[in-house]
Structure formats: structure tokens, C-alpha cells
Chain A
Amino acid sequence: MQDNRGYIKGISGSVVTSTCFANTSIYEVVYVGSERLLGEVVRVRRDVADIQVYEDTTGLQIGDHTIFTGELLSMKLGPGLLGQVLDGIGRPLERLGKKSPYISRGTHIDAVDDSEKWYFIPRLQRGDDVGPGDILGEVEEKGIKHFIMAPLDFRGKNSTISWMAPKGEYVVDDVICKIGETTVKMFQRWNIRTPRKVGRKLDLDKPLLTGTRILDVFFPLALGGTAVIPGGFGTGKTVTQQSIARWANADIVIYIGCGERGNEMTEVLEEFPSLTDVRRGIPLMDRMILIANTSNMPVAAREASIYLGMTIAEYYRDMGYNVAIIADSISRWAEALREISGRLEEMPGEEGYPAYLASRLARYYERAGNVVPLGSPQRNGSISVINAISPPGGDFSEPVTQSGLRLSGCFWALDKGLATKRHFPSINWAQSYSLYHENLDRYFTREISEDWVPLREFVFNILHDGKSLQEMVQIVGRDGLTEEEKWILKLSELINIFYLQQNAFDPNDAYCDSGRQLVMLNTLKLLDEQIRGALNSGVLFEQIDSQFAFVADLMKLRSQNTEDYENSLTSYIKKLKEELSDLI
């Protein structure tokens, strides 16, 4: 063991320089100093290695020992991860927090608890032939079936099961199966920087429904797709992401608090356990895994945190689940990369970010997708990536936003102007886009309604017309408008308030399913038809405007309970029709 020990030669922030050996590899895990702080080799030069340390380096001294492990940074994957809060390198914060309210150094425990017992039910038996990724059996984890799979890197000469554990309670370290000579336990380890192998990638044809109207209708994200949410501070990134985490139709949600506020993680921790998953009726926390590297936690661990989250996501995807991975925010990750790069004195690229920023980002984004995992029975799983971006000064021309745009299929642009007007979610409809319309329109037409696409186009056109009319009014005033144009202006304002704005704190409005969205869109369309009819028969817009309080009426309808929702909107239109005919 003596020959893999080096000693510290230099320290600069979170980067430590140490002597090393000819066989020291890049990304090898190193324990640094007497407290055995966890680190990873990021650069090797003949006999000197630069190590990024995942814990606070205060107090390290020149000459302290470093121990090179010869292994890459890996995560122990097994039952017991759901509902947990991990730090950037996968340590369970709950168990760490029992000792002290502060993050302690040099403690290495796995998130998967060795002592917890699981009831294992085998699916295969002795004599069955197995390949990598085959489902051997299952345990129940927080209401979902957690499949125990044959390791992906399993390469035995003999691939026949020679022994299978009977039904019963086991801990994760127990052997549950022997394939030829290889023993299989209930957990597997995987290097967090390596994507898990899959069978094949599929087209994206189903939406990730968020219950947020502007997203589902105008800028839908596909299951297996990628989205970015850039926005300056105070534009509602976190509220939007938490709302997606809460309502999205994913089986598992992984939420990475990457360099953000500690209190925001606490908020999720306090609220989610008491909320219920609308689809399965289990506590929301049971489908979540939180990864918390708050802004004051070690910078290097921030760099690792997104890979850690992705590896866990891939593990659950391989069982055949739809996983959503939400990172808040990817800019902090990029800044961590920049900080480490600066400490390594690398040549800076754009805005001081290292030149490899774009390729690292690409590697992360490209781990999303809709796939058939390896192994039998054949199953289908997906990973959808949703990244918040915090551009400095709210300027979208910076490299993290631009790379994000290139790599993702949905751009949900947050707008400071809307946020100051308290228009939430403050997503700018004119700037945002989704590249998944083509794939998803078929789904919406088939599953929801044939009217979905035409209605969306109708509303979108009104918004566009309204915007250009608004610009005209600012120049020439209202007098130049025709009666119809005045109505379009009003209607686009109504769409903004009634449809695009959504109150995340109103229990009846926070989540809006597709059916309800359709009813709302339809109401707008019918409203438009009625008013245009009246205008055509000579009624003046002023008359209509002074008689009806559209905003107040529609808002009252919107905050109604789901039952009878359709009826009350229909009767509203009916009443409107009658009153309009009185005017004519």
C-alpha cells in the first residue's frame, strides 16, 4: 500500500498539487491529508498530479499525505435512494446532519444504507440464461418496483444462473444471485462520468406534461428531451422548476440544487413530503432524489453533482422509468468548472470559461433521451433534462446560455420585464421555442383533441397581432385602430392574464391538466367568435368594453374547482351570447 502514497506540494483553493506515479490516471480518486478529504485527479504531469478536492481545504499542509486509490469516482446504486438528499458527491445529508448542523469533512458514507432490509422477489430462476441489464428480481421501494438488474459490465464466460436467492428480506450487500462464477448483489457501482450503456435510442413521441399552461401548449417538452430555462435573478427560475418537479408526469424526479440557496432546498424538503403525487397518490418526496450543493458548499463537488444526478437518473431509466432531471442552475456548474480551470492556470476561452465548456456541456445534455435499456424483458425508459441557467446580468449572449440553446430542444426564456409586472410564470412567448412540436402534435391530436393544434395556432396568432398593435398604439395612439383591432388588443391582454399567467400558489390553478387547458382555449375561441359577430353587426367596441368585465369574469372562472369547470365556462359563453344579442 505504501507505493500509492504521495504528498502535497502545493495548495490553491480547492486544487491541491501532489506528487504521483507513472500509473496515476486522470479522474482517479484520491484521499487528501490526514482527514482523508475526497478528491479527483484532474491533470497529470509525469510525477505531479493536480487534484480537485471535494471538501473544504482549510488547514491542509504542504507535506500531508495523499492516497491514490486507482479507482474512478463511482456511485453505489441500489434500493433506498428515493426520497433522499445527497450532497454533490453522493453522501446522505440526513445521516450526516444527525451529528452536526454543519457539513463535516472526511466522512465517507454511501447513500444506500447497508443496514436497511428489502423484500426481494426473484423473477428468474436457476438455469436461466442472462445478459447484461436483465431483470433478475425486484424489491419495492417507496411504492415503485425497484428492479435488480444484472450488471451492465457483466462479462462472464458462463451466463447461466447457478443460484438464485429465494424470496425474502435482504440487505443490499447480500448476494442474491450467482451467474456462473459471478456473484450479484442488490447494488451496483457505476462511474459517474461514464454514461450507462443502452440498447438503442428511440424517437421522442410523448410529452412531458408539466401542468403549466404556457409550456404544455406553446412550448412542450418531450419525454427524453432537453430544455433550458435562462433568466436573470428574480425572474422565477426556481418557482418554475419546483412547479415542474411537483407536477410533471415523470415517474422519478431528480432535483439538483447546484450552487443555489440553502433555504430553497429546505423549502423542497419541508413541502414535498406533505404533497401528493397527482398520478400515483404517494407523497411527492417518494419519487424525488435531491442533490444539494448549495452555493457555500465546496465548489469542486458542484462540478461532480450533475454527473452524479445523471448517473442515478440513468439507473432508474434502465429499470424502465421516465426520469426528469432538473438542475438549478447549470451556470453555477460552469462557474465551478471555470474556477477550477483558473486554479489550474489553463488558458481561458470566452468570458474566462475553459475552452472545453461546450464539449462538457454537450456530454451532459446528450445523456438525455428515450431509450430501450439493455437486457430483457424489453422496456422503455427516458431521461428528460431541464436546466436552469443564470446568465450574468440577465444577458443571454453569454456562453452557457448559447451552448444550452444549441444543445436543447426547448428554450423557455424568462423575462425580467414580465417578472416585475408580476406576470408569472414570466416566460416570454415571443422569445421561447420548442423543437418538439412536430413529434408531439400527433400525440396531442390523438390523445387530447383534434382541436388542440388549431386552437394553439389561433391563440398564438392573436398574441402576435396584439403585440404589433400594441407597438402601433405606442406611436399613433388608439384612434387609428379599427373596432376589430381594438378587440384583438383586448383579447391578447385577456390571453396574457387568463391563460399565460398561472398562480403557482392557488391550489386550483397551480396545476392545469390538458383537458382543462383545452376547455380554456376553447372558451377563448368562442369568446372571440361571439365578440367578432357582435362587432360585425355594428356594435362598437367601447359599448362591449364598458358593459363586460372580461378579466374579472374569466379570472373568477379560472380559480374554480375542476368539477363543473367545463359547464361553467359553457354557461358563461351562453350568457355572454344573450347579453351581446341585446346590444345588437
Chain B
Amino acid sequence: MNLQDLQWGLMMMVVGMGTVFALLALLMVVLMGIGRLDRKRPHLPPPPAHEAAPAEATPTVHIVADGLDEDQVAAITVAVMTHAEHRRRLAAPETRAHAPGSQLFASRWLAVGRGRESSPFPRERR
């Protein structure tokens, strides 16, 4: 290896690294530009509404659905909730975790154990 080869190698290293860094810098500029373009403009607060005097406000009825007004919807809601609570008090089928007597959680342990509690005399084996 002579001095000329060493210079050539150093030059290639500088050119290569310079190219890479130059491209990275270009990429950074491009990305920043895209980011700036995508950034939303902050919404300005709407101009303050012209506040009407309370005396001038007119009562409005909001139609909610199917021709029912808010009072009707409220009355129906209360009726449905009351009915649901009544059904729950009666343990109606739709409120139960499982059918009565199904003992879904129960194990053989419980079935056998309760049987022994009810009739503790052991059955004779024949």
C-alpha cells in the first residue's frame, strides 16, 4: 500500500459519508415539510353568539323518534324501568342466572353432601 492508495481511500470515504449524510439531511427536510403541511390549522373559537334575553327565548319541543316528544320518552323510560324492577322482584325468567333447580354451579360434592345431610344413615350394601 502506498501513499496514493491511502489518499484515494480517504477521499472515497469522505465522498461516501458525505453522500449518505447529504441524503439523510434531504430526507429530514422532506419529512419536516410534509409534517408542516399535514399539521392542522388551529381552530379559532367561534365568534360569541349573540345572547338573547331570557324573555325572548321560546320553548322548543325536540322530536326524538317516532313522533315522541321528550316527556313521552321520559315517561316510557320510567315505566320500563319500573316494570324491570318489578320483574326482578319476582325473579322472572329473564332476570335469573340459571333455571331454578338446575344448580349450574353445583358439583357432585354438593349433591352428595346434601343427600347425606338429609338422610345421614348410610345405605347398607347387599
A binds B: no
Interface residues, chain B, with chain A CB atoms under 8 Å away:
none
